[in-house]
Amino acid sequence: MPKFQRIKGTHDILPQDARKWRYVEGVVQEVMQRYNFDEIRTPIFEETALFARGIGQLTDIVSKEMYTFLDRGKKSLTLKPEGTAPVIRAFIEHSLGEKKPVHKLYYISPMFRQENPQAGRLRQFHQFGAELVGSAAPEADVETIALAVDIYEQLGLKKYTLKINSVGDATCRAPYKERLKDYLRPRLDKLCRSCQERFDKNPLRILDCKEEGCRAETAEAPLIIDHLCEDCHAHFEAVKSLLSRLGIAFEVDHRLVRGLDYYTRTAFEILSGALGAQNALGGGGRYDLLAEELGGKPTPSVGFAAGIERLLMVLEKENLLSDFDSGPDVFIATLGEEARRWAVQTARQLRQRGLRVDYDFLGRSLKAQMKEANRSGARFALIVGENELQARKVVLRNLSSSEQETVAIDSLVGELEARLGKPG
Ligand SMILES: [Zn+2]
Ligand SMILES: [Zn+2]
């Protein structure tokens, strides 16, 4: 039994999988760039109070899932459980709003939550996300939604659903909450325990409960969509009409709500049907009141975040991740001491020309080296012994066609580049 094992709820991403991660992250970066979003990297840990404020003291994340610890100076720190609060903290700290009015920022980062690994939950997981900071316009909501959709499209995903809703704003939500509570009060004892707790602090979240009983009790509940103020209504209509103009299909889901007061207007979620039951790939929405909550100036903003692990599972399921195993361009197989030294030198020379090159490190027989060359997936093998060196030529073998030819050492670089289709 090995002495050390990884912490439950964490994963090692081994080389074969790391290639898939790099591909997905590359697509994310490429699409972000097309939308002119710039990358921002914030620290892995922050002051605990930032998340208590920025996510909400009453949420499950803050009350039971954060990795919080005291450092040696007895300061309470927390490994970031989500990306938005740190981005807005950085936005305020660096007064980015004074440099230009609208900022479009994205991140790809590990996140940490102390969740139950038995339930398949990860304690270190990874997200990409984007925040459009500084605009209240419906175009900004549509920009982030289209961005998320285009990332999934670019990856080849077909089976997904976009759900949207509006959760109103400071003007219309308070009176709606009262109506909702009036409706729920006589049904309170039929709701699940968590919903009973939500009744005072967070009644909107009751609409979001997955329990059969709660869903039945709330089937006839008043909907926020019917109680939006004029501005929120106009905003929602504009978002829907712009999405339609872009040909982005959506469903309005009245149960899509967010618990915290600084979330405003548009909420959205993208679900995949590939994993059986519908699974959230990512979601987001408008949070016009968060910057103030974190001590900044009023800064209307909208964003989304999406999990990378679940996305990879879906892509795998849909067969959209094949062909990532590529080997070196060239494997150098040698016979004799002098040829081995030549291999070290030639490998570096070829690498400096941009070729991917490997050779044997175990002093194996030529036969074993050729086996290794094949296993490595290399496109070509260079076969060199004392005789070849003396004649200043090497054997070049195409490992997929098994064709062999003799090439002069002096023209080796050019010959290889020509066969690999690389510019000389
Ligand atoms: Zn419930
Ligand atoms: Zn409103």
Q: What is the pLDDT of residue 56?
A: 78
| d(CA 333, ligand 1 centre) in Å | 66
Residue after which a domain boundary falls, among 264, 291, 317: 317
Ligand number nearest CA of 231 is 2
Q: What is the pLDDT of residue 324?
A: 73
| d(CA 265, ligand 1 centre) in Å | 24
Instruction: List beta partners, residue 23.
Output: none
Smallest CA-to-CA distance from 263 within 224, 237, 230, 234 is with 224
Ligand number nearest CA of 211 is 1
Ligand number nearest CA of 205 is 1
Residue after which a domain boundary falls, among 261, 282, 317: 317
Query: How many structural domains comprise the chain?
Result: 2
| d(CA 365, ligand 2 centre) in Å | 76
Assign residue 24 the CATH number of its domain.
3.30.930.10
184 lies in some domain: no
Are residues 301 and 292 in contact, defined by beta-carbon separation less than 8 angstroms? no
Q: What is the pLDDT of residue 148?
A: 98
One domain, residues 31 and 159: yes
| d(CA 267, ligand 1 centre) in Å | 20
Rounded distance between C-alpha atoms, residue 222 and residue 181, angstroms: 10
| d(CA 271, ligand 1 centre) in Å | 21
Ligand number nearest CA of 232 is 2
325 lies in some domain: no
One domain, residues 162 and 56: yes
Q: What is the pLDDT of residue 104?
A: 98
| d(CA 57, ligand 1 centre) in Å | 20
One domain, residues 282 and 360: no
One domain, residues 148 and 118: yes
Q: What is the pTM for the complete model shown?
A: 0.90
47 lies in some domain: yes
| d(CA 265, ligand 2 centre) in Å | 7
One domain, residues 409 and 303: no
Low-confidence ranges of the chain (pLDDT < 70): 1, 259, 275-278, 323, 422-424
Domain holding 361, by residue range, is: 330-420
414 lies in some domain: yes
| d(CA 225, ligand 2 centre) in Å | 10
One domain, residues 65 and 157: yes
One domain, residues 387 and 246: no
Assign residue 336 the CATH number of its domain.
3.40.50.800
Alpha helices in 336-421 (DSSP H): 337-352, 366-375, 386-391, 412-420
| d(CA 136, ligand 2 centre) in Å | 13
Residue after which a domain boundary falls, among 261, 286, 317: 317
Ligand number nearest CA of 173 is 2
Q: What is the pLDDT of residue 1?
A: 67
| Residue 16: its H or E element | helix 15-34
One domain, residues 416 and 308: no
| d(CA 229, ligand 2 centre) in Å | 4
One domain, residues 301 and 373: no
One domain, residues 345 and 282: no
One domain, residues 74 and 107: yes
Ligand number nearest CA of 192 is 1
Near ion ligand 2, which residues have CB within 5 Å?
Answer: 168-169, 171-172, 229, 232
198 lies in some domain: no
CA dihedral 309, 311, 313, 316 (to 10 degrees): -130
Q: What is the pLDDT of residue 423?
A: 59
One domain, residues 33 and 63: yes
Q: What is the pLDDT of residue 261?
A: 73
The CA-atom distances, in angstroms, between 72 and each of 75, 76, 79 are 7, 10, 16
